[in-house]
Every structure is written in structure tokens, then in C-alpha cells.
Amino acid sequence: MPLPSLWLTGPTRSGKTTRLVQQLLLWAETLSQNSKKKSAPPQTGPSLLVFAANGDNRIVLADQIAAATQGRYSVHSTTPAGFIQDEVMLFWPLLIEQLGLKAQFALKLRPENEQELATRFWRQEIDQEILQVEGWREYELVRRSLDFLQLAASAGIPTEDIPVMLAQGMMLGQEADDPWQAIGAALVRWRDGCLNRGLLTYGIMTELYWRHLLPNETYQARLLNRYCRVLADDVDEYPEIARHWFEFFLENDVPCAFTFNPKGKVRLGVGADPDDLEELKRHCTLETLFVDPESTSVPISLGTLWADDVVEWVSNPLALPDLPETIQSIQETTRGQLLRRTAETIAEAIHTRQVSPNEVAVIGPGLDAIARYTFTEILAKKGIAVESLNDQRPLVSSPLIRALLTLLTLVYPGLGRLVDRDAVAEMLVVLSQTPSLDVGEPWFDQARIDPVRAELIGDHCFAPAVEEPKLLPVTSFPRWDRLGYRATQAYGEILQWLDDQKQQQQQRLIPNAITLLDRAIQRFLWRGNYLPYDQLAVLRELIETAQHYWEVEARLQQCGGVEGEGAIAPNTPNSDVVRFIQLLRRGTVTANPYPVKSLDPKRQGVTLATVFQYRSQRLCDRWQFWLDASSPRWLTGTDALFGAPIFLKNWSGRPLTAVEVEIGHEERLERILRDLLGRTTERVYLCHSDLATNGQEQTGPLLTLVNAAQEVEARREDLVDGKPSHPGRTG
């Protein structure tokens, strides 16, 4: 008789993951005993397959399993996305045979390449306005179309059915479904074109897996031989197609264990379908976990004590909140004042040892660059480290990257339109900086060419030209003697290096731009000295992006290029360099380098994160600062992809009404409140400014809590001053 499968459900931090690891140990011990009876080593048989919601959660879960098992058992940990990609790549020859594809190695496209290459594939339709939707810019058109493909693949919907679903579910003012038919035809052509060239995106791999690989009997037999137990943590974050392979294991009597948070659903609208995944529980033995308020091993969260009351106060406009002292407020008139006061409050608490930096989190519905910069600067000046969670800024936002891109335009001919005097001046400052030999000192001590001298050199020594822009000798500046010895020497070194690289490029001694970038980094930025992690990471990210970009370019050239590109022909000299520079300068956010973790694991600081990022990482802190607490984005802000609701299994088949949208917003807000309160153990600060960044008054859904917290604080101040309280005072 097969072992029963388990469905472990419970709220945030109720011990679901711990219980899952315990079940893994129990099954692993049983398998070990059975293997001993058969005189076979325990690690020679099938493995235990363990899923986590995302890559960071997988690392944490894998560490817990390794500590619990001491490496005695064969455990394969992965994520739904990682599992799909690994399986498609591993069984790519089987797919080639089944689909009749060209026999060639598969090459995965990174997100930035997918966007750029799809634009090139659809250039003719875009230019002829065949592929267009009213009100959508070109970037939005391409991005949303690719998102439709990924959402459909995650939901187990064929690409050919996308136009019908869009025509039924979208309300954009079109009287006909022509735009959706054009998008559907473009997506089919994109998918087929990628497959013919051996290029794979996550959406294409997902469709390949559920539509072709998983139903294959040969693959099914291999899958059952490889895995004997399946465990999945936080299945409320998984795509609908995960149910396909889970049910396959269950139907073949492979014991499974799942954890599910009914109030989680962080990735709802980003490919996850928690309501459909919840149907798996009918195959399992249900086990409900609760948070024990009397437990001494785990600190009690504010969610256990106050989540129900807070949700009621927020959802009921007539409620009279009686907030505890653990929920306080920070109130200012403008957002700039709020950011500064919040940072100073955090610094004071840390310096008075009320809390450690790694026990504080600043969370908001959207953390813009101004907020991240303000917190980082103020706290850094006070000696407090800051960890900006998944701060995926465009590569081009780094001066190092801009300087290296400018360098490319001065070596390769025909790139004169991509460089100007300001870019040259910035490049001279960056490339002339002297690395500090002391690890404890700042990254660069000082620049040998300061910004003023760099501007002078740019004005007098830069010769713009379409075909061959160049830097002239310093003597072209009539008063070059006023630049000083250090600046003149540094400029001469850069000029000589550029001349050497130009000669080698003309002699075809530089294979591609990756080699040139590496040489520039080694010569001007690295020099064998210490670089801080953030600067090192951005350089590694550039090199990895460039390597992948030219791998894709090489594959395209092997397959005859991309038909109908229009603007830049594949055979134009250095067109690949032009596209690469334009790709980064458009602000494309590239994939994080591997490994994504800091090289110094002990370095911890105050966490800056959006609500989505914080919840996705399953973090927990003693103190939380809810930034922009009165912002309407707590309710109306969404992390969902455009059009995501129509790809859910419970979609009604018609456009969403305003009432349904409002209900969805309210349910999302309740999940956020319960989850965030469940991830703090001591204090929440509601950080409120009367005016938003645009100068408008903020009247978001949490304003009731903000006013109540201010009332509690006012009464407390009156009691301290010996004055009677003022029940009507709102602060």
C-alpha cells in the first residue's frame, strides 16, 4: 500500500517548512532502511525531489535539509522554473526528435536578450503598424506580448489560443479583435523562429515541457526512475502547470508533501495560480498548523496578536482602532522630510542598541530610487550598512558601465553617433581614478583627472565624427599646461591605450567587444586591487551580459540572421556593438550575476525592500517601517503582469468588472497586512507624509491606522506632560 501524501496548511511562520523537513527525514530514513535490507548504498537509488518557490528560498531550504540530513541522502532541490528549464535542456534531444527540430545545442535567452531580439523579429510588423494596440508604446507592446506567452505557458494554454482569450478578456476600446490576432500570429512566429534557431525563453521552455515533454512516455519512465519522493514548499506560489507533474507523481503512487499558505499567494498575477494548486489537497492527508501563542522557542509575531483586529480596522471605515504600543507612527508634511526622519529614527535606535541593523526592515508598496538613495546615504554616513533587496537597477546607471560603453565607441569605427563630449568627460574621470591599496579605504581614493579638467579636455581634445570619433593629443588644448602633471599623464595613458586597441582592432586581433571590455577592466578598474562587492558585481554583470549577447549573435549568424530587422542590417560593420550599446543605454535591467549573494556573508544591514520582495524572500524582523503608509498604492498597487487574471483557471471568460477588481485589491491588501504582521515580532512604524511626491494629499487605505497611531501618541505625550488627553486630537 503506498504511503499517504501530506497537505500541510497554515498561516505565516506556523512551522510549515520545519514540518516539511521533518517529513523528508522520516521518508529518507525509511528509504535508507529499505536500501540496507537490499544491501544497496542509500545514494544509489532514486532521489528525493524538493521544490521551493524561488531561488533564494531554495538556498535557505537546501541549507536546512543539509543540516538536518548531514548529506546522508540523495536530495535534489530546485524551483518550478528551474525544474522546467533543467528538464527541457536535459531532454532536448528527445524534443528534437519528437518535434522534428534542427539538431543543435539549445541556447537559453536571458530576459534582456528576449526583449531586444523579439523587437528585431517583429520590426517589420511594428513599422508597418500591423502589430499595434492603441495606447501602447513599442516597448510595452513587445513586453506585454512576451508576458502573454509566458502567462499562457504557465497556465497550460497553447500559444495558438492566446488571441481568443485576449479578445474575450480585454477591454481597451477596440471594436474588433484584429490587434489580438496580430499579437497571436506574432507570438507563434516568435516561438517557431526561436525553436528553429535553438533559442529558448522561459515561456517557450514552459510550453515545451507541459505540451510535449511531460506527456512523452519515455520521459515519464525516466522521471519515475529518478525520483521516489516529492516535497514542495509554498505551493501557493507555483504556476498552474506544476499541478500537472505533481498529479503525475501522485497517480503513480509517489508520496508527496506540500505546504500551503491560504493567506500567502505572493506571486498571484505573476504566473502563479494558488486556487488551482489547492485542488491537490484532495489527493492528500490534511494537516493544519497553527501558531502557538505560548511558545517560547519562536518569538510571537504581531500577526498572531493583532492581525485580525488590524484587518478589521482597515476594512471597516467606521471602526475606532485602539492600536497597541507596538504600532507607532512617524508623520511629516512632505515625503522628503519623512525619508530623513525615518532614517534618523532607525539610526538612533541602532546607536542606542535598541535593535541591530539586521533586525530592521523598511518596506513600501514601491521603493523608488530617491528613497533607496536617501536611506543608503543617511545611514551610511552614520556607519550603518544597508541591504537593498533585489535592487535591480539598469546597468547603465553605473558610471563604470557608461565609461566602458563610451570606450567602445572610440575604438570601433562607425559609432560616432553614440558618443558626445559629456560622455567622454565622464569616461576620463572614471578611468583615471587611482585604486586604493588599503582595503579599509573607499573604493577609489581620488581621480587623477577631476571633473573640471575632464570637461576642458572634452571640449578641446574630443573630435566628434560619425565614422571615427577620436581623442586628440593634449597639446591640442592651447593652455594644456594648466591641466597639471597628473591629469596630463593620466590622459596620455588613456590615449595611448586607445591607439593600441584601435590598431589591434584594425588588424582583427580583437575577437569581439567582450575582449576589449575585459582588457579595459583589467587595465583601468581592476589592477589586482580590492573592489567592493557592488562594483565588482556590476562589472561581472556586464561581462556576463556581453558574453551571452554575443553567443546569441553567433547563433543568429549561423542561422542566417533575423529577417525583416529594418533599422540595422545584420551585415552592417559593428552593428552588433551598436545594438549592444543601445540595449544597455535604453535602461534594460539585466539578469543578476551568479552567485547573487554578497561575497561577505557576515555583512548585514538594514533591509530595504518592496512589499513583494520582502514577502517573496520570507523575511522576518523585529522592527518594520512601513514607508508611505497612507499611499493608495497599498490598495491599488499591483505586482501582477498585464492581463494576468484572464490566464487563471477560475477566470469567468469575460472582462473583469470594476467590482471584481476592487474585491481583488481588498483581498490582496488583507494578505499583505497579515503576512507583514506575521513577519515582525516587536514593532511596526507607520511612516506617513501628508503630501506625496507629486504634491497630492495621501488618503490611502491605511490612513485610519495612521490617524489612530497619532492619537495614541498624542495621548501618551499629554500624560507625560501632565495634561488631560484630547480624544478628538488627530495630530
Task: Give the model confidence (pLDDT) of 81-109 as tens digits.
Answer: 999 999 999 999 999 999 999 989 999 99
User: Quick one: average pLDDT of 542-555?
Assistant: 93
Query: What's the CATH number for 302-392+599-721?
Result: 3.40.50.300
pLDDT per residue over 279-329, tens digit each?
999 999 999 998 877 665 667 899 988 999 999 999 987 777 888 889 999
- Look at residue 726 and tell me whether its pLDDT is greater than 50: no
CB 256 within 8 A of CB 250: yes
Pick the most confident of 71-80, 150-159, 577-586, 627-636: 150-159
User: Cα separation of 302 and 591, whole Å?
Assistant: 36
Domain coordinates of the chain in residue numbers?
6-89+211-288, 107-197, 302-392+599-721, 395-585
Can you tell me the distance from the alpha carbon of 178 to that of 171, in angstroms, rounded to the nearest whole number? 13
Which residues are CB-contacts of 221 (< 8 A; sequence separation ≥ 6)?
Answer: none
Per residue in 370-419, pLDDT (tens digit) is 899 899 999 999 999 898 887 778 889 889 999 999 999 999 999 999 99
Per-residue model confidence (pLDDT) at position 6 = 96
Q: Given pLDDT bands bounded at 50, 70 and 90, which one contains residue 592?
A: low
Dist. CA 362–CA 340, nearest whole Å: 13
Res. 44: pLDDT tops 90? no
- Beta carbons of 194 and 200 less than 8 angstroms apart: yes
pLDDT > 70 fraction of the chain, expressed in percent and rounded: 89
- CA dihedral over 218, 221, 222, 223, signed as positive or negative: positive
SS3 447: strand
pLDDT of residue 587: 82
Residue scoring higher pLDDT (546 or 3): 546
Topology at the third CATH level for domain 6-89+211-288: Rossmann fold (3.40.50)
- Select from 333, 417, 428, 336 the least CA-distant residue to 375: 336
**For residue 571, is pLDDT > 60?**
no
Q: Please give the pLDDT value at position 441.
A: 43
As a whole number of angstroms, the distance between CA 163 and CA 478 comes to: 66
Q: Is the peptide bond before 473 cis (omega within 30 degrees of 0)?
A: no
Stated pTM of the model: 0.90
For the chain, give the mean pLDDT.
87
